[in-house]
Amino acid sequence: MPERFAQIKDIADEVVAKAAIVDVSGSATLAATAASQASRSATRSAASEANAKLAAESAAADAATSRLRAQDADLSAGQAAENAIASAEHREAAEAAAALADSAGNATAAQQARLGAEAARDRSVQAELAAQQDADATADDRVQTGLDRVQTGLDRAQTGADRVQTGLDAAAADADRVQTGLDRVQTGLDRAQTSADRQATYELKLATGTSASDAAAQKTLATQQAVIATAQATAASGYAAQASTHAGTANAQAATATTQANSAASAAAAANAALLAFGNVLANGIGIFSVNANGELIGSYNDPTVTSMTVNASGELVVTY
């Protein structure tokens, strides 16, 4: 009997130790989640800085284009003014020639001079109209340019607002995923604590003394817990192999800080799944058993393949599937 009690106590110590491992793993998961959030924040800050730089370069390009248009308009206006001045000078010269011909009594020359003056006057008027039309067109172009710039500014502002909203949505989604991970970790810790509390109850019962039927039940419990411990070790090894495979694949594909943060989030999710599975094993692997007057084991079984359990004359557990 003392050997059986010692064996049961060793198993209980192992369960308590595994509960402590769950707690440490939960802290590691929280740290990985915080690192993932910090990486995403750094990525969003870099993107915002790049957007600001692009906006500044675009504004500088618009300003250069505006200066070129203004210079072209000034050149056009100057050419029109020169044409108007030349037409006026031709008209004045023709009028002077007509006056000289009149004073000399040459009617034909005077008539020709007057016709030339009228033609020069017409050209002067046309030049002034052309200059005014050029000025009006330049003003219209400047107004349209201003309107285009205003629309461009509005479009950029809307784009910035959309990007901010996208960032807020992504931050909210990240917060939801972090909260889900924390909830899963807490569930695993709660289940591990429940299992540890049950084990403490069994240890207390051993310390205060047991009857022959209780001793048989304790032996059955110890056997069941040994099976659970083996299953937990196998599951933990499998999850570790899966996590290693996922980590190798993520490292091969990682080219930027963003993809590295995503692989860290995937590893954290795998750790959460491992913790949740471990908690389920702790919570669901133990049944409530007792031994009747005929030495038969009765109670509830969490394994649906088990049809019955009995203890033979040698105190060995016999399981029927």
Q: Is residue 275, in this structure, part of any structural domain at all? A: yes
* Angle, alpha carbons 226-229-234 (nearest 5°): 130
Q: What is the pLDDT of residue 34?
A: 62
Examine residue 276 and state whether it is found in any structural domain, yes or no: yes
Residue ranges in the chain modelled with pLDDT below 50: 1, 271-288
Give φ, ψ of 256 to 5 degrees.
-135, 170
Q: Identify the DSSP state of 302.
A: S
| Length reported for the chain | 321
Residue 214 forms part of a structural domain? yes
pLDDT of residue 231: 73
Distance, CA of 295 to CA of 202 (rounded, Å): 20
For 226-253, the pLDDT digits (tens) are: 777 777 777 767 766 776 776 666 566 5
Longest Cα–Cα distance in the chain:
161
pLDDT for residue 277: 40
User: In b/e form, how buried is each residue of 211-232, taking b as 16+ CB within 10 angstroms?
Assistant: eeeebbbbbbbbbbbeebbeeb
Question: Residue 83: what pLDDT?
Answer: 64
- Can you give the pLDDT at residue 227? 75
What's residue 276's pLDDT? 42
Q: Quote the CA–CA distance of 3 and 32 in Å, as a whole number.
A: 44
Tens digit of each residue's pLDDT (9 = 90 or more) over 155-211: 887 887 788 788 788 877 877 887 887 788 788 778 878 877 777 777 666 666 555
Say if 304 falls within a structural domain: no
3-state secondary structure of 295: coil
- Cβ atoms of 5 and 222 within 8 Å: the answer is no
Question: What sign does the dihedral 77-83-87-90 (CA atoms) show?
Answer: positive
Q: How many domains does the chain contain in total?
A: 1
Q: What backbone torsions phi and psi does residue 290 show, to the nearest 5 degrees? A: -155, 165
User: Is residue 315 in a domain?
Assistant: no
Residue 319 falls inside a structural domain: no
DSSP state of 105: T
Inside any domain, residue 317 = no
Measured distance CA(295)–CA(293) in Å, rounded: 6
- Domain membership flag for residue 44: yes
Q: How many CB atoms lie within 10 A of CB 65?
A: 12
Angle at 259 between CA 255 and CA 264, to 5 degrees: 125
Rg (CA), the chain: 47
Residue 231's domain comprises 2-286
